[in-house]
Amino acid sequence: MALISPSRRLRRTPFSEGVEAAGVKAYTVYNRMLLPTVFRSVEEDYRHLKTAVQIWDVAVERQVEIRGPDAGRLMQMLTPRDLRGMLPGQCYYVPIVDETGGMLNDPVAVKLAEDRWWISIADSDLLLWVKGIAYGYRLDVLVDEPDVSPLAVQGPKSDDLMARVFGDKIRDLRFFRFGWFEFQGRNLVIARSGYSKQGGFEIYVEGGDIGMPLWNALMEAGKDLDVHAGCPNLIERIEGGLLSYGNDMTDDNTPHECGLGRFCNTNTAIGCVGRDALLRVAQEGPVRQIRPIEIHGAGVPPCDQLWPIMDGEAHVGNISSAAWSPDFNTNVAIGMVRMTHWTSGSEVDVLTPDGVRPATVYEAFWQ
């Protein structure tokens, strides 16, 4: 593929200078911003993520900030997950659906205070939807994209690295909780979360000016921990079953099809957009669902379009993400499979660009 031309529409991040100095080899575009995808090689990055600690520029996880007396009401309109029990200091993974129950985004909601929330978005223009709903319902809120850029610290040595920069109290943070921690006189939200199954934190860096000072402080503090720049890793996130909006699901899918039914409380999420549609699909149950799929044989090319899943002449699903897994010595994949073939052990064929491959459908991801 040719190079991507830089321009103002394709935003750099507060950490881009560090990412470039670390020798980034490839980017993708996410929320109109640069997201690194490879540093050494996808497989080397994978091994390092599973054994050491990495610093990830995930500034592309833009925040939609909602502030004002109607903030909680607006949040509950946006998601079928019941937010009544959510306290300030908590993060929730929340499906966001449109009026037909179609997925618009799968962000992390961060409750800063009763009247102040961040929605840490995946790759779709959620700000426009949120502004439209706030305006249409005349809600008493301000909705904007603040100067907040997440920096993730991921990998088994994350606790040790973070404790050196932010103190031992960071170790007490529970999964999907956040606290306020000081860096150079600024208070930053830090959560135990992140787009990997290796453990770690996300620092919501408020104010781009401290982006590089923080990046450098983490790199300096972690020298003997073999800290390295990294990024969300394709192999690791498929093994762990972390979904990618725009790849594994679109607005054509309901949360139930995406296996996100456990994050929907449609009966009690009163006032949420798409509630009637979701009550219907929850009752009937989906007829296709996301599944882990093993594609047998040698490695596979990058999955940049859906690969049909076949049973003879019958088209029974599509693969949306796939990669060779060194740890499982096979190809791990994510696909949407019709109910006739979604039980564990179903044998199917996948039409890859390299030819037909036998494959097996499972019910639980690898990890």
Which residues would be at the binding site for ligand THG (CB under 6 A)? 61, 93, 106-108, 120-122, 150, 176, 193-195, 202, 242-243
Among positive and negative, which fits the CA dihedral 244, 13, 154, 167?
Answer: negative
Least spacing, CB of residue 280 vs ligand THG, in Å? 25
Phi first, then psi, for residue 322 (nearest 5°) are: -160, 150
Write the DSSP assignment of 113-140 as a string of letters: ETTEEEEE--SS-HHHHHHHHHHHTT-S
Least spacing, CB of residue 130 vs ligand THG, in Å? 15
Phi first, then psi, for residue 75 (nearest 5°) are: -55, -45
Residue number with CB closer to ligand THG (116 or 349):
116
CA distance 306 to 336: 10
Residue type present at position 355: G
Residue number with CB closer to ligand THG (29 or 351):
29
Q: Tokens 């593929």 label which residue?
A: 1
Q: Is 164 helix (H, G, I), strand (E, B) or coil?
A: helix
Residue number with CB closer to ligand THG (205 or 350):
205
Let me know if 312 is exposed, middle or buried by CB neighbors in 10 A (0-12, 13-18, 19+): exposed
Residues marked as binding for substrate?
A: 202
Residue number with CB closer to ligand THG (2 or 364):
364
Residue number with CB closer to ligand THG (158 or 346):
158
Which is nearest to 366 in space by CA: 320, 329, 316?
329
Among positive and negative, which fits the CA dihedral 305, 310, 315, 319?
Answer: negative
Yes or no: say if 249 and 67 are a contact pair by the CB < 8 Å rule: no
CA distance 38 to 305: 20
CA end-to-end span of the chain, whole Å?
31
CA 156-158-160 angle, 5° bins: 105
Instruction: Report which secondary-structure segment, H or E, holds 211.
Output: helix 211-221
Least spacing, CB of residue 59 vs ligand THG, in Å? 11
Which is nearest to 340 in space by CA: 364, 319, 309, 365?
309
Residues marked as binding?
A: 202
Residue number with CB closer to ligand THG (35 or 359):
35
Residue number with CB closer to ligand THG (34 or 242):
242
> In sequence order, what E strands does 103-238 have?
103-105, 108-113, 116-120, 142-144, 148-154, 178-183, 186-191, 200-206, 228-230
Least spacing, CB of residue 200 vs ligand THG, in Å? 10
Residue number with CB closer to ligand THG (139 or 234):
234
